Amino acid sequence: GAGVSQSPSNKVTEKGKDVELRCDPISGHTALYWYRQSLGQGLEFLIYFQGNSAPDKSGLPSDRFSAERTGGSVSTLTIQRTQQEDSAVYLCASSSQPESATEAFFGQGTRLTVV
Amino acid sequence: TQLLEQSPQFLSIQEGENLTVYCNSSSVFSSLQWYRQEPGEGPVLLVTVVTGGEVKKLKRLTFQFGDARKDSSLHITAAQPGDTGLYLCAGAYGYGNKLVFGAGTILRVKS
């Protein structure tokens, strides 16, 4: 497809388990973002990959959260030892030229529920 | 603390009314974007403003970027039920023009 693809769309996990969320950005987009959104709320910045630069990890809430982007394309967000407060929708976005203020295209998100 | 403060957080109005949503910050942004999000979907871009004092119109929506590039507003004229949704402002700043979002304004337009 031509858009940003995220998988799984829904994930229910037990407290304490690790989860991996996947994001396939639009081909050729150099910038990739991960955000977290609670119900009806705004987007909480988590991490930002831009080209070959070191990622901006300043939004990761704890060391249980990590993300990588392989080959400048697919990204995975890993949450270790999940907690109930990690329950949220995790959104991924990509853009082509962030230095030119271009549009960020979003996936539909992964709804994570920790029980 | 939020880098971008949006107000109001929630707005419920009747069809045909006008409304304004505000986005404020103490930081200067290289650009500012407005997105609209519907339930179960990711946000979709409405407009990007780049120049201080810039005004852009998109049908019944008018967007303004403050002269100092620290604030923006979204004005909707004659709101319709189809305008219902979550409106988010996002500012690009810092190295690499990272996008940060406000907390959003939930708009409900009743017919």
pLDDT 10s digits, B55-76: 999 999 999 999 999 999 999 9
Tell me the shortest Cα–Cα distance from B58 to chain A, in angstroms. 16
The average pLDDT across B75-101 equals 90
Task: Say what the pLDDT of residue B89 is.
Answer: 95
- Chain B residues within an 8 Å CB radius of A102: 48
Q: What is the CATH number of domain B5-110?
A: 2.60.40.10
Which chain A residue's Cα is nearest to B102?
A42
Chain Cα centroid distance, residue A12: 17
Asked whether residue B111 carries a pLDDT value surpassing 90, the answer given is yes
Task: Say what the pLDDT of residue B75 is.
Answer: 98
pLDDT confidence of A70, banded at 50, 70, 90? confident
Cβ B43–A56 below 8 Å, yes or no?
A: no
Q: How far apart are CA B29 and CA B46, in angstroms?
A: 18
Asked whether residue B2 carries a pLDDT value surpassing 80, the answer given is no
CATH architecture classification, A5-110: Sandwich (2.60)
Counted across chains A and B, CB pairs separated by less than 8 A come out at: 73
Q: For a pLDDT cut of 70, what percent of chain B falls above it?
A: 97
Spans of all domains in chain A: 5-110
Tell me the shortest Cα–Cα distance from A81 to chain B, in angstroms. 26
Which chain B residue's Cα is nearest to A99?
B97
3-state secondary structure string across chain A: CCCCEEECCEEEECCCCCEEEEEECCCCCCEEEEEEECCCCCEEEEEEEECCCCCECCCCCCCCEEEEEHHHCCEEEEECCCCHHHCEEEEEEEECCHHHCCCCEECCCEEEEEC
Tell me the shortest Cα–Cα distance from B17 to chain A, in angstroms. 23
Task: Say what the pLDDT of residue A39 is.
Answer: 81
Task: Say what the pLDDT of residue A99 is.
Answer: 64
Closest Cβ opposite residue B96 in set A42, A53, A91: A53
Cβ A98–B33 below 8 Å, yes or no?
A: no
Asked whether residue B105 carries a pLDDT value surpassing 60, the answer given is yes
